[in-house]
């Protein structure tokens, strides 16, 4: 594997390609999102982890302890600390840090679903910013538009968006609300627990890097993409999908993926696992 490393304040990003990866396996089609990305071969593969500021690491650790407890069927003892008193009461994070409590069996954030490119020139390479916009509007009650996230996340019309840049941008601009970092799920159960903790206790969705062919509502169509996990049921992850070909004049032979979809934790895990970064942000 050939790699090049570029240093950015607060993180190190390693860019490279998978050894032996074929151009066909990762090439982007001409009627899907990310038009143009990957047309010269395999895209850059991000296998690094965004490093949050040292002062924030305890909060990341606390969230992951909750995930571990939930996965093991143990009480949620770690609680969630309120980050920002300015949040509306209905969206304020739990202040319980010692008492046990139970998450709802099923829950969906009050999620809005702007389509990719909406209000931003109907662009078709801005799935990362679109997913970020939707997640943050559902949490904050304010639409920031897609264009600011496109700028903050350093989105490119040829290479799309990197997971570490999404995490870095959200931590910079919304770190007073929650801690935002990249996570690699270790199993379908671990992914489901992460979604349940983030949605149920922190009241926002996660942004996930996916290989779309593993998600049934993409009808076998394969491309590299970002969308959001915005809820859960007793047996499924609820995905909010922003890609809406008909709205931006793109011909689709795989239907209209846009909308809310309940998918099995295994399908969602596989979609993330086989994506370029193998990570979600939350």
Instruction: Quickly list DSSP for 196-225.
Output: HHHHHHH-S-EEEEEEGGGSGGGTT---EE
**Domain contains 89:** no
Q: 8-44 pLDDT, tens per residue?
A: 222 222 222 223 222 222 223 334 454 323 333 334 4
Query: What is residue 84's three-state secondary structure?
Result: coil
Q: What is the dihedral of CA 146, 148, 154, 157, to 10 degrees?
A: 40
Task: State the pLDDT at residue 66.
Answer: 77
Q: How many helices (H) and strands (E) does the chain have?
A: 7, 9
- Asked if residues 131 and 230 have their Cβ atoms less than 8 Å apart, the reply is no
**Domain contains 86:** no
**Domain contains 241:** yes
**Domain contains 83:** no
Instruction: Give the CATH number of the domain where residue 44 resides.
Output: 3.90.70.10
**Domain contains 65:** yes
Chunk the chain into consecutive blocks of 10 residues (it has 282) and report each block's average pLDDT, rounded to whole numbers: 27 27 30 37 46 75 79 61 37 43 81 94 96 94 96 94 93 86 93 91 92 97 96 96 96 96 98 95 92
**Domain, as residue range, for 38:** 3-74+105-281
Q: Does pTM surpass 0.85?
A: no
Task: State the pLDDT at residue 214.
Answer: 97
**Domain contains 183:** yes
* Structure-token match 């890609």, residue found: 243
**Domain contains 208:** yes
Total domain count, the chain: 1
Query: What is residue 46's three-state secondary structure?
Result: coil
Task: State the pLDDT at residue 49.
Answer: 63
- Asked if residues 34 and 225 have their Cβ atoms less than 8 Å apart, the reply is yes
Q: Which long-range contacts (CB under 8 A, 24 or more apart) does 164-167 make?
A: 164/11, 164/13, 164/46, 164/48, 164/49, 164/50, 164/277, 165/13, 165/128, 166/128, 166/132, 166/207, 166/226, 166/281, 167/50, 167/281
**Domain contains 273:** yes
């Amino acid at each position: 594997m050939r790699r090049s490393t570029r240093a950015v304040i607060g993180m190190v990003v390693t860019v490279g390609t998978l050894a032996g990866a074929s151009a066909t396996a990762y090439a982007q089609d001409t009627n899907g999102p990310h038009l143009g990305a990957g047309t010269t071969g395999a895209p850059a593969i991000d296998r690094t982890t965004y490093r949050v500021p040292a002062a924030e690491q305890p909060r990341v650790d606390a969230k992951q302890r909750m995930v571990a407890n939930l996965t093991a069927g143990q009480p949620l003892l770690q609680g969630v600390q309120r980050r920002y008193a300015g949040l509306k009461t209905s969206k304020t994070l739990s202040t319980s840090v010692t008492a046990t409590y139970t998450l709802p069996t099923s829950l969906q954030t009050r999620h809005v679903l702007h389509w990719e490119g909406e209000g931003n020139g109907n662009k078709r390479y801005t799935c990362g910013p679109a997913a970020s916009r939707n997640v943050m509007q559902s949490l904050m009650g304010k639409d920031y538009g897609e264009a600011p996230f496109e700028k903050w996340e350093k989105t490119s019309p040829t290479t799309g968006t990197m997971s570490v840049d999404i995490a870095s941008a959200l931590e910079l601009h919304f770190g007073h609300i929650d801690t935002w970092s990249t996570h690699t799920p270790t199993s379908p159960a671990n992914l489901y627990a992460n979604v349940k903790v983030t949605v149920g206790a922190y009241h926002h969705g996660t942004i996930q890097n996916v290989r779309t062919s593993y998600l049934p509502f993409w009808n076998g169509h394969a491309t590299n993409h970002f969308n959001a996990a915005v809820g859960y049921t007793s047996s499924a992850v609820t995905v909010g999908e922003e890609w809406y070909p008909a709205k931006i004049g793109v011909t689709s032979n795989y239907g209209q993926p846009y909308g809310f979809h309940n998918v099995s934790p295994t399908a969602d895990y596989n979609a993330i696992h086989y994506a370029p970064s193998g990570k979600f942000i939350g």
